[in-house]
Structure formats: C-alpha cells, structure tokens
Amino acid sequence: MYRLCKILLVAFAVVLSSNSLNAQINDTINNVVNTNKLTFPPLDVIIDSVIKRSAMIKFRKNNILVKEALLSTERIYWSKSLGIQADSRYGNLNNFATSEDGVSNTAAFTTAKQFNYSFGIYLKLPLFDAINRKNQIKLAQSEVEAAKDMVEFENEQIRKMVITLYQDLLLKQKLLQLRSKSLGDGRVNMQMVEKEFRNGLVPISEYVRMNNMTTTLEESYETALSDFITTKKLLEEMAGFVFDLNSTEKENDAN
C-alpha cells in the first residue's frame, strides 16, 4: 500500500511538471514558428521587387538602348554621303574674250576686281553600300528584337526562381513547425522518463533510448530551422526588404 501511494505521488508530480514544461516549450515554439501568425508578403510583390532590383535586368535594358541607337545610326547612314559644297573667290581676275563676226577676228584681255562664288549639293554613295544598306538595317532591327527578348527571358527566369524559392520557404516553414512540435513532445517525454528513472521506475536502457531520441529530434529541429532561415534570408536579399512575419499579429493586437 505504501509503495502504491509512493508511485501515485511520483506520477502526479511528473504530470504537473510535464504540463508546466510542455506549456513553456509550446510558448517557445509558437514564438519561433506558428502557421497562424507567420504571414509572408504576397508572391507577386516579391517577384516585382526582385525584377526591379535585378542588376541583370538593368544590364539587358541598357543593351536595348545601345542597339536602338545603332539602329538609328544605320537608318541615317546615307546622310554621310550627302553634303553641301561652296566656293568663293575675290580679287583681280583676268578675263580673256574673243569674237569672230565672219569679217575679222578680235580679242580682248581685261583685268578687274570681282567676287565669284559657287554653291552645290553632292551625293556620294558607293555601289556596295547602296546594295548592302537594307541588310544592315535588318540586322540592326534583329539585334534590337533579340535584346528585348533577352529582357523577357530574364524576367521569366527570375519569376520561376522566385516562385520556386517561395514555395520552398512555405515547405520549410511547415517542416519547421512539425520538427518543433516533435521536439517539444520529445522533451516532455524525456523529462518524464528522467524523473521516473531517478525514482527507479524505468531501467537505464529506456533512459538512454529516450535521450538518444531527444538528441535526434533536436538535430532535426536545428537543421529545419537553419534551412528555413537560409531560404528566408535569400528571398529577402533578392527582394530588398525584410519579411515582417508578425505583421498580421500586430494588426490584430492594434485593433
């Protein structure tokens, strides 16, 4: 009878201690990861921010400007062969004139100060350039279109990458929550086994087994936590802002 009372008292103490420890662990877990509280920014917002900050996108867009400038140059290339030529002279000019009226021949030589000028427009276009100019313009147009396609390609690649990372982050969040719950339960069980072991209710082999299981659960939790933080930090670095995961909770408290 005395032994039975002792066992009941120990069991009652273990339950009280376990409940207290379980509540403490659950509070810690909820502060770290809770599906109802963690609210990530919308996927479209993250994608737009990553595209806006992408150095590669900026490089591709600048390349479009370069190609468009080259196209404009090719289109007005013919103007290089078009020019204006003018010439003027002023001074003593010698004039010599002859006439023949059928009866006699006459000649006159005069000197006078005069101002003479000439003005004209010329166009010099090599035959090869005239034939090849259309092809050069088509080539420049194709380079502009290719540059625009590269920008669209980069946008598509970024969207795919962000979607993959975003979904991976959601998965790691769920895994972290599961690992956290398992760790909390494992620590509660370990606490109970430890108290029972001290009171001679469980053998040492069971104590060692539970201790190894708890260590394994702790390792799994730390790995899941590291994976979650790494993916989150990577997305934050790409998007250029920190995800305020408790924003929803703060808004509810304010209301």
Spell out the domains of the chain, with CATH numbers in brackets.
Answer: 23-70+130-242 (1.20.1600.10), 82-127 (no CATH)
Q: Report how far residue 201's alpha carbon sits from residue 57's, in angstroms, rounded to the nearest whole number.
A: 67
* pLDDT score for 105: 52
Q: Which two tokens stand for residue 108?
A: 């006159």
Band (pLDDT 50/70/90 cuts) for residue 70 is confident
**Which DSSP helix (H) or strand (E) runs through 97?**
strand 82-100
* pLDDT score for 124: 62
Band (pLDDT 50/70/90 cuts) for residue 199 is confident
Q: Report how far residue 163's alpha carbon sits from residue 157's, in angstroms, rounded to the nearest whole number.
A: 10
Angle of helix 127-198 relative to helix 2-32, nearest 10 degrees?
Answer: 160
How many angstroms separate the first and last alpha carbons of the chain?
A: 58
Q: Which two tokens stand for residue 13?
A: 């103490």
pLDDT over 70 (residue 228): yes
Contact at 8 Å (CB) between 53 and 239?
Answer: yes
Residue 223 phi, psi dihedral angles, 5° rounding: -65, -45
| Angular region, 35: left φ>0, alpha ψ -120 to 50, beta rest | alpha
Residues 6+ away with beta carbon under 8 Å from 147: 60, 63, 64, 66, 67
Q: Which two tokens stand for residue 153?
A: 């390609």
> Measured in whole angstroms, how far is the alpha carbon of residue 202 from the centre of its chain?
57
Q: Report how far residue 57's alpha carbon sits from residue 4's, in angstroms, rounded to the nearest whole number.
A: 76
Q: Which residue has the higher pLDDT, 9 or 139?
A: 139
Band (pLDDT 50/70/90 cuts) for residue 24 is very low
Residue 92 phi, psi dihedral angles, 5° rounding: -75, 115
Q: Report how far residue 25's alpha carbon sits from residue 47's, in angstroms, rounded to the nearest whole number.
A: 36
Band (pLDDT 50/70/90 cuts) for residue 207 is confident
The pTM assigned to this predicted structure is 0.63
> Measured in whole angstroms, how far is the alpha carbon of residue 205 from the centre of its chain?
54
Contact at 8 Å (CB) between 36 and 217?
Answer: no
Q: Report how far residue 25's alpha carbon sits from residue 181's, in angstroms, rounded to the nearest whole number.
A: 9
Q: Report how far residue 184's alpha carbon sits from residue 180's, in angstroms, rounded to the nearest whole number.
A: 6
Using CB atoms within 10 Å of the CB of residue 43, give its burial: 0 to 12 exposed, 13 to 18 middle, 19+ buried: middle
